[in-house]
A = this chain, B = another copy of it.
């Protein structure tokens, strides 16, 4: 069966295919309005995320399907001490496809090991959020007409913001994309991302200067600095407002600069920027999420009977003598879960669930 756990589950060809399907849906809504008739999407949100949940639900309803689920963990059996594996096993008997959000990293992978229906990762802590990456790519493609030959600036929390990491990874599949990483020292892009780019000879610069970087950009991807990612509250308070995009900063921006943001925004983008309809693409981006998720649901239901295994699982090894120490990893709470690890290119042993190094 086919799942969507991380963006790497899809090849560049498949990503381009999803983008084309999304665009076709926008142009021919009627054609798709009954394609999931009789099918049920379960939205299992072990932590609240209204926007993402409503986007998935809107997608399924627009395909003529129906929805059930829960919007936070305390209305789930988890509160009764049930394992994630059991919850998923049961719910996969009530639905045709599952979109899940979970605070622990790797939870969707655990789910996919027990589900009889496709699992879509709607965000697992600070780990993966592949549908966000796919709608970001759709947005770039719609705003610019192409994804290659672009200079892309990413601004804000580049350290903890995993959506940024998978977006960069995905963009690195396209030719002649240049990156400008704009962040304070403390929130710089992690080394392993830079290494990927170095290997592929992809150009990137690191800076803490937003205003100075804007003129050369085709895309500016702003991010929210999220409290929940910080262990040190003071550091959060010091950094949360370092970058605020306002009209003035856009004076020397390209006419056709596209400003993206995963939303919700707090104050990273001044409200006045919303009036710059051409450049302010973040609300169109949110709406694109509905159509990309329709495309994803269709693809996974379509390939439900395909024999496919999460790539890492193939060469995963069971490591009994060592254990993942990442407190945000699903292995830290899930009972009876075997620790699986994989030897990566960097020759480090990494937890297959959260990708953290195992010593």
Point out residues on A near B: beta carbons under 8 Å: 33, 38, 40, 42, 48-51, 54-55, 57-58, 61-62, 64, 66-72, 74-77, 79-83, 85-87, 89-91, 93-95, 263-267, 270-272, 283, 286-287, 290, 335-336
List the 7 shortest-distance A-B pairs measured between CB atoms, nearest first. A93-B287, A271-B336, A82-B264, A58-B94, A57-B68, A77-B264, A81-B266
In the bound complex, do residue A54 and residue B91 qualify as a contact, i.e. CB atoms below 8 Å apart?
yes
In the bound complex, do residue A76 and residue B61 qualify as a contact, i.e. CB atoms below 8 Å apart?
no
In the bound complex, do residue A94 and residue B267 qualify as a contact, i.e. CB atoms below 8 Å apart?
no
In the bound complex, do residue A271 and residue B93 qualify as a contact, i.e. CB atoms below 8 Å apart?
no
A354 to chain B, nearest CB (A): 21
Q: How far is the CA of A124 from the CA of B67 in the complex (A)?
A: 26
In the bound complex, do residue A90 and residue B38 qualify as a contact, i.e. CB atoms below 8 Å apart?
no
Complex: chain B residue closest to A82, CB-CB: B264
Cβ contacts under 8 Å, A76 to chain B: 48, 50
Cβ contacts under 8 Å, A272 to chain B: 336
In the bound complex, do residue B58 and residue A75 qualify as a contact, i.e. CB atoms below 8 Å apart?
no
In the bound complex, do residue A68 and residue B61 qualify as a contact, i.e. CB atoms below 8 Å apart?
yes
In the bound complex, do residue B75 and residue A50 qualify as a contact, i.e. CB atoms below 8 Å apart?
yes
In the bound complex, do residue B75 and residue A72 qualify as a contact, i.e. CB atoms below 8 Å apart?
yes
16 contacts across the A-B interface (CB closer than 8 A):
A40-B62, A48-B74, A48-B75, A48-B76, A50-B77, A51-B91, A54-B69, A57-B94, A61-B66, A61-B68, A66-B66, A67-B68, A71-B75, A77-B263, A81-B264, A93-B283
In the bound complex, do residue B38 and residue A86 qualify as a contact, i.e. CB atoms below 8 Å apart?
no
The oligomer's copy count stands at: 3
Q: How far is the CA of A77 from the CA of B80 in the complex (A)?
A: 25
- Other 15 A-B pairs with CB < 8 A, given A38-B62, A40-B58: A51-B90, A54-B69, A57-B68, A61-B68, A67-B68, A72-B75, A82-B264, A83-B271, A85-B271, A90-B263, A90-B286, A93-B283, A93-B286, A94-B287, A271-B335
Cβ contacts under 8 Å, A87 to chain B: 50, 264
Q: How far is the CA of A331 from the CA of B79 in the complex (A)?
A: 28
A121 to chain B, nearest CB (A): 19
Q: How far is the CA of A3 from the CA of B265 in the complex (A)?
A: 26
Cβ contacts under 8 Å, A263 to chain B: 77, 82, 86, 90
**Residue of A38, A80, A82, A272 with most chain B CB atoms under a 10 A cut-off:** A80
In the bound complex, do residue A80 and residue B290 qualify as a contact, i.e. CB atoms below 8 Å apart?
no
A218 to chain B, nearest CB (A): 24
**Residue of A51, A265, A272 with most chain B CB atoms under a 10 A cut-off:** A51
* Cβ contact of A70, chosen from B67, B71, B290, cutoff 8 A: B71
Cβ contacts under 8 Å, A83 to chain B: 271
Q: How far is the CA of A75 from the CA of B47 in the complex (A)?
A: 9
Cβ contacts under 8 Å, A50 to chain B: 70, 75-77, 87
Q: How far is the CA of A89 from the CA of B51 in the complex (A)?
A: 11
Complex: chain B residue closest to A72, CB-CB: B75
A343 to chain B, nearest CB (A): 27
Complex: chain B residue closest to A66, CB-CB: B61
Complex: chain B residue closest to A291, CB-CB: B93
Complex: chain B residue closest to A85, CB-CB: B271
Cβ contacts under 8 Å, A86 to chain B: 263-265
A228 to chain B, nearest CB (A): 9
In the bound complex, do residue A335 and residue B40 qualify as a contact, i.e. CB atoms below 8 Å apart?
no
Q: How far is the CA of A300 from the CA of B33 in the complex (A)?
A: 22
